[in-house]
Structure 1
Amino acid sequence: MKQFKIAVIALFTLVTVSNVSAQDASNPWAVSAGVTVVDVKGGNSISNVLKDYFGTGDWEFGVPRITGERYLNEDFTAQLALSYAKVNSNTYLSADANVKYSLNKLSEMVFGSTTQYFDPYILAGAGMTHLYGNKFLTVNAGWGVTSWIDENYGINFQSGLKQAFGSNRVSHYQHSLGVVYRFGAVDTDGDGVVDKDDACPDVAGLAAFNGCPDTDGDGVQDSEDACVNVAGLASLNGCPDADGDGIADKDDMCPDAKGSAANNGCPDSDGDGVVDRDDKCPNVAGPVANGGCPWPDTDGDGVLDKDDNCPNEAGVASNNGCPEPVITDAAAKELEDFAKSILFNSGRTTFKTGVSAKLDQVVELMNKFPRANFIIEGHTDSTGTDAVNLKVSDKRAKAVRDYLVKNGVDASRLESKGFGEMYPIADNKTSAGRAKNRRVVIKVVE
């Protein structure tokens, strides 16, 4: 009997350190096997009751005691028990049907919380007992406690009175100690995580994720995985990053080339703001407007083609990339005005006073445009014969040319020719008209 007392003490020590919840609907079935003690009841006086219940001198030890239980609800559990022992060398057999009432609610009322480390209860029931060659009915009442070591296993101690009825009845106390195994937990999806602990009870998953799946096996459960069917990185919510640029492939416009977030994952090797895939010159910086290439200068005149009105002909910036004009329109107009001031003495080829100063200005202007060539035309009115007029006009034109050459204009740039009266610009019938027709004209030769 000493060993049984030690086992009972060990049970109560265990319930003070165990932290597994009491039996519940997640494991509705339980079986136990253990040892039992039968103590035949003596008198009904208080002293006899206390002596029988707490005294161990007349305990009869028996093996086995087997029970089967079915969880009904948070309050009640049904129990069937079979026991075997030897009492005064006589066979003891009993079969009992009890109902256990959980005291967890009472604990909550008294202590403010349910017992999370053991399962205390009281019980009542009835049974059939065989002892001393007789069979008789008993009414049972008692108490017990189960301490759950883990999710399925526990240690149970139960004690109670079995009040006998009928002839040759033997009322007695019965105490038992056994190992309990509970089972029957539902695992709907078959993933090894029972439904009560399964956050995804209808979909097979992993214990690490409380029964939820990780379809792509990347360590990110599907409910938190933005790319459920493709293995990826936890830092990118389960999405892959093929080029390792820190941008998930699903958001990366260039998933196979490392780029920057500013360019949606695409590289820009030359840093010109045009990503490589759109850059016609990916290794040379250039403006977006030219496809990432530098603007060309085809004619090498220092004026970019985009600003060059003559991209295939070297020119100057002042003329938008085109060659400088042989002479400007303004200069040509100025020569025309100067020519109107070239007056000759009547019937002669000599200049009137002051004309030389004008001709000097013509020299200066012509030398500003060294690529320009000129023709000096002489014209007369209709007075006199055609032959005379032609001769006079030719000499006057030549006189102007000679002056210009003498004063610094290259002779190769100048041509002179007289036209007589062939090209009047006014009416020769009036003196005013004839005066206009007597003229020198300086033209640019194209």
Structure 2
Amino acid sequence: MNIENIKFKFLKMKHLKVAFLAVLLTVGFSQVNAQDKNNPWQIGFGVNAVDFYPTNIEGMVTPAGNSTVWFDEFGNADDHYNIIPAITRVSVGRYLTDGFSFEVGGTLNKIEKIGDVVASDLSYFAVDGALKYDLNNVIGETAWFDPFLHVGGGYTWMDDWGTGTANGGLGANIWFNENVGLNIQTNYKHAFESNIKQHFQHSAGLVIKFGGTDTDGDGIFDKDDACPEVFGLAEFNGCPDSDNDGIIDSKDACPNVAGLADLNGCPDTDGDGIIDSKDACPKVKGTKANNGCPDTDGDGVIDSKDACPKVAGPKANKGCPWPDADKDGVLDKDDDCPKVAGPASNKGCPEITKSEVAKLTELFKTVYFDTGKNSFKEETVSKLSEAASIIKKYSTAKFNISGHTDSVGSAARNLELSNSRAAAVKDFLVSKGVSAANLTAQGFGEDMPIASNRTRSGRAENRRVEIKLID
């Protein structure tokens, strides 16, 4: 192939092109940002290589005289690549959506090889735009390896000639960290003017992506930060967990104290299911009914206030059981006779037996008075003393003492005498320790005879003092 047929001329690049490239560089660096959904901007800079050989140009032949074909000696950099060892490519990109981004790039080069033909420093300048698609959306996220396809167009100048181009190719970004990586790509450029033939342009260089907003500075961009204005942790989508209990502060009822998920992040030191702030006994396991305090004997009195924590008892007695000193089954508090056993029906006091009542009846039959007086005969005192000892055993038993006379004398005098004698018996019993409240005394005179007053023996029977148990 003759260099004249290609009609390339050797001239220096115009000052306008240099100025345009400088503007592109300036704009690129001023817009340094990232290129994904969090970091939407990207800038790149590096070197580029232009290769005409493997593009099936009509008339271009190999040294052996054969016509070149597509991708012939595609990687023969030594023989066919045109490279300037300096920064010769600058690009600026913007993420769009769903893996798509748009990039504008500017390149310059010096063409010394057109296939196997030597050229004389033809200036090369191009501005291209490309729509890129991230193949990770198809093959799955690889984190550090980011392959892409790109299609687009641009305009290329070689010395005094210029032409529009349709472009397409593929490449990859290999990320060293979240924001900096290595870019390699190849681009086929189909020219629409015959003065500039179709060619491949390869490039390699650094890319920097950033520009995402991180208001709270926690390393999680606002777009993905559930709490964009509060410093947080990545594992909680940017939300804070001040007490490190695995529950974010906004859902933690006790954000400054480590707690349990089941208790909305609040602690339960004693493990009784009641959070410490509402637990009256936070260090001792208890029940909800007792505000978290224990009640070992289950008597409704918490242990800290229970004088007998292991034995059930009423609150009125500080959690201790009421005593029953006489063991009669009637608690002392309800027992009118706490020291003497008795049935509950009689409030814990003993009930006088029928035999005891009969005994009293017999004893009272032997009560004798001096004639016409209320004083006792000597033999009566021992009998009344014995009666008193019986009555005292039954503190709740109440008795009525009745006095009676025969019909000798006036009725008025007999009534007075009977009252006096009944009272004398009562007084004697009281003097022996019987409660006065349990005794009543009344005289009936001659009105209630039990025998005939016409005989001496009958009148003797009618002169009597009787005792009766009051039900």
Paired-residue identity, %: 29
TM-score (norm 2): 0.59
- Count of aligned pairs: 360
Deviations 1:50-90 (A, max 9, x none): 43745431212233222111122336432222223333262
**Normalized against structure 1, the TM-score is what?**
0.62
Matched, 1:380 2:380: no
On the 8 A contact 2:450/2:462 being kept in 1, the answer is no
Partner of 2:168: 142
Please list every run of 5 or more consecutive structure 2 residues that lacks an aligned counterpart in the other structure.
1-33, 60-66, 113-119, 367-382, 394-398, 422-431, 434-442
Structure 2 counterparts to residues 52-91 of structure 1, below 5 A: 53-56=74-77, 57-62=79-84, 63-64=86-87, 65-74=89-98, 76-88=100-112, 90=121
Paired residue secondary structure (2:72): helix
Separation in structure 2 between the aligned mates of residue 163 and residue 443 of structure 1, nearest angstrom: 147
Change (3 A) 1:221 1:282: farther
Work out whether residues 274 and 291 of structure 1, in 8 Å CA contact, stay in contact via their aligned partners in 2.
no
Q: Which residue of structure 2 lines up, in the alignment, with residue 96 of structure 1?
A: 127
Aligned counterparts of 1:369 and 1:204: Cα–Cα separation in 2: 92
Please report how far the alpha carbon of residue 174 of structure 1 lies from its aligned counterpart in structure 2 after TM superposition: 1.1
1:317 pairs with 2:342: yes
Partner Cα separation in structure 2 for residue 98 and residue 84 of structure 1: 15
Deviation at 1:293, TM superposition (A): 3.1
Does the 8 A contact of 2:451 with 2:462 survive in 1? no
**Change in 2 beyond 3 A, CA 1:258/1:287:** same
CA-to-partner distance for each residue in 1:153-197, whole Å, 9 max, x for gaps?
443322223345669646543111223222223435543212454
1:30 and 2:42 matched: yes
Q: Which amino acid aligns with 1:51?
A: D
Q: Confirm or deny that 1:157 pairs with 2:166.
A: no
For the residue of structure 2 that corresponds to 1:87, the secondary structure is: strand
Deviation for aligned residue 1:258: 1.4
Match of 1:47 among 40, 53, 68: 68
Given candidates 315, 327, 333, the residue that maps to 1:306 is: 333
Within 5 Å, give how 1:22-421 maps onto structure 2.
24-40=36-52, 43-44=57-58, 47-51=68-72, 53-56=74-77, 57-62=79-84, 63-64=86-87, 65-74=89-98, 76-88=100-112, 90=121, 92-102=123-133, 104=135, 108=138, 118-129=146-157, 131=158, 133-134=159-160, 136-149=162-175, 150-164=177-191, 169=196, 171-187=198-214, 189-201=216-228, 203-222=230-249, 224-225=251-252, 227-234=253-260, 236-241=263-268, 243-249=269-275, 252-261=278-287, 263-268=290-295, 272-277=299-304, 279-281=305-307, 283=309, 285-297=311-323, 300-302=325-327, 304-310=331-337, 314-318=339-343, 320-322=347-349, 324=350, 331-332=356-357, 336=361, 369=390, 379-382=405-408
SS of the residue 2:170 aligns to: strand
Q: CA 1:426–1:78 in structure 2 vs 1: closer, same or farther (change >3 Å)?
A: same
Structure 2 residue 437 is matched with structure 1 residue 425:
no
How many Å separate the matches in 2 of 1:421 and 1:152? 125
Deviation at 1:230, TM superposition (A): 3.3
Deviation at 1:328, TM superposition (A): 6.1
Q: Structure 1 counterpart of 2:81, which letter?
A: W
Q: Which runs of 5+ in 1 are unaligned?
A: 1-21, 343-361, 398-411, 414-419
Q: Is 1:71–1:78's contact at 8 Å kept on the other side of the alignment?
A: yes
Q: Is the 8 A contact 2:100 2:134 kept in 1?
A: no
Deviations 1:313-364 (A, max 9, x none): x333345444x57x66885477559979x9xxxxxxxxxxxxxxxxxxx99x
Letter in 2 for 1:121: L
Q: Is the 8 A contact 2:128 2:155 kept in 1?
A: yes
AA of the residue aligned to 2:109? A
The Cα offsets for residues 133-154 of structure 1, whole Å up to 9 and x where unpaired, read as: 4352341412022244354344
- Cα drift, residue 266 of structure 1: 0.5
Coordinate RMSD, CA, aligned: 5.0
Residue identity opposite 1:317 in structure 2: G
